[in-house]
């Protein structure tokens, strides 16, 4: 009999891609989210539209489920997370979801849980040097995340660990590092850096100007979504509990990422640096532990992922501009 799995956050970017991966692997999948997938039709066997902050929705979603993949969260890019304007909602909404999923999942007899944590849990004091950030899994404490989003993720990591210790449930925890790709948010304020830069380049005529927050020398690594869901599945089918980084070690500055997108788009644009929310100065996945424990790590190049992502976002921009022209 097929394992029955629940994907919380199945209407979101990573959740939508994970559903496809699980269906292809032969699982029976129920998805649940506040909304359906914005850019494609979910391949889930069953999809519930509901609020995971509501205990009754969570109880209904868990009926007959063997494994839970918990990716639902109140989140977004720097323009949402680092302004401070959404801190209470981010912490309350995400913590409530995790408390509900764990407590009612335990009651329902769920055998295994996956929890998607974040590189945002790592201490800000280890990420001040853009060229040499420290993001190994054992560097998480003494804790000092740079955002309330990171603090909530760290709290929830401990929540899952406590339920594992006290109730004997099986838990896997991964810390995602800047996942990107097609079918992700690309406008509206919650998009992350790769999508925002792809959108700005796609919207701007050759020779024009785009704006980048900060001096552009801040560093990050970005992981294409297909490799993220591969890592999730490898972790869930392994004997390793985590937490473990799922990310790329190909670190770039935001300026370098912008140059890459312009090169792929075959455009030369002026870059104007402006003030904006930035997060830490440097961040890069440390993949030593995932290599050791799973004998695997992400290997696709940033360019490969950006080429696919830019092509998709350019299509979205063109379609949006066509609609605006027709309604003008």
Instruction: Please give the positions annotated as active site.
Output: 149
For 18-111, strand residue ranges (E) read 28-33, 46-49, 67-70
CA 309/CA 105 separation, integer angstroms: 35
Let me know: does 278 contact 213? Beta carbons within 8 Å.
Answer: yes
Rounded to whole angstroms, how far apart are CA atoms 226 and 248?
Answer: 12
- Residue 133 and residue 16: Cα distance in Å, rounded? 31
Query: Taking a C-beta distance cutoff of 8 angstroms, is the pair 246, 118 a contact?
Result: no
Q: Which two tokens stand for residue 137?
A: 């899994």
Question: Which residues sit opposite 224 in a β-bridge?
Answer: 180
CA 207 to chain centre: 33
Overall size of the chain counted in residues? 328
| Pairing status of strand 223-224 against strand 244-246 | unpaired
């Amino acid at each position: 009999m097929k394992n029955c799995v629940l994907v919380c956050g199945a209407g979101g970017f990573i959740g939508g891609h994970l559903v496809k991966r699980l269906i292809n692997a032969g699982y029976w999948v129920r998805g649940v989210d506040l909304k359906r997938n914005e850019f494609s039709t979910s391949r889930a066997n069953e999809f519930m539209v509901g609020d995971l902050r509501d205990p009754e929705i969570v109880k209904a979603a868990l009926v007959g489920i063997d494994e839970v993949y918990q990716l639902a969260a109140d989140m977004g890019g720097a323009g949402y997370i680092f302004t401070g304007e959404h801190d209470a909602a981010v912490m309350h909404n995400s913590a409530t979801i995790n408390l509900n999923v764990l407590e009612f999942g335990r009651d329902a007899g769920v055998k295994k849980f996956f929890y998607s944590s974040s590189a945002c849990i790592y201490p800000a004091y280890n990420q001040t040097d853009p060229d040499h950030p420290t993001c190994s899994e054992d560097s998480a404490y003494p804790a000092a995340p740079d955002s309330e989003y990171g603090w909530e993720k760290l709290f929830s990591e401990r929540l899952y660990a406590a339920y594992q210790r006290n109730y004997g449930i099986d838990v896997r925890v991964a810390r995602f590092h800047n996942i990107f790709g097609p079918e992700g948010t690309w406008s509206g304020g919650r998009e992350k850096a790769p999508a925002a830069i792809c959108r700005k380049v796609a919207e701007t005529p050759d020779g024009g100007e785009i704006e980048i927050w900060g001096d552009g020398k801040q560093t990050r690594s970005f992981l294409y979504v297909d490799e993220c869901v591969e890592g999730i599945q490898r972790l869930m089918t392994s004997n390793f509990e985590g937490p473990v980084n799922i990310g790329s070690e190909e670190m770039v500055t935001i300026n370098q990422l912008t140059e890459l997108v312009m090169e792929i788009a075959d455009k030369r644009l002026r870059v104007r640096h402006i003030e904006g929310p930035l997060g830490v100065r440097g961040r890069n996945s440390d993949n030593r532990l995932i290599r050791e424990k799973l004998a695997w790590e992400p290997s696709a190049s940033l360019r490969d992922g950006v080429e696919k992502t830019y092509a998709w976002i350019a299509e979205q921009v063109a379609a949006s501009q066509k609609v605006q022209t027709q309604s003008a």
